Amino acid sequence: MGLIASIISYMEKPQWKPSEEEREVMEAVWMQVKGACEKLKEETNAQDEHIKKMLKEMADRYYS
């Protein structure tokens, strides 16, 4: 199972079943986030653990 599929699978709890259009939007957003993280790694000395922490902090701040 690919990363996108596993993320969508995790999100498909009884509370929400994304439509095909919503799945496409999530995949497009994920690709943008992934690209931004790769650019951050290329242009700084940030490592995966730094990016993981940053993404978690952002999610906690805006979606908790």
Neighbours of 4 (CB within 10 A): 14
Instruction: Evaluate whether 8 touches 26 at the Cβ level (below 8 Å).
Output: yes
In a domain, 3, yes or no: no
Alpha helices in 1-64 (DSSP H): 3-11, 20-43, 48-63
Percent of residues, the chain, with pLDDT higher than 70: 78
With a cut of 90, say whether residue 16 has pLDDT above it.
Answer: no
pLDDT tens digits, one per residue of 38-61: 999 999 999 999 999 999 999 999
Domain extent, residue 57, equals 19-63
Find the farthest-apart pair of alpha carbons in the chain and give their distance in angstroms, rounded.
40
Tell me the two tokens of residue 40. Answer: 């951050």
**CA–CA gap between residue 59 and residue 64 (Å, rounded):** 7
Does 58 fall in a domain?
yes
53 is a domain residue: yes
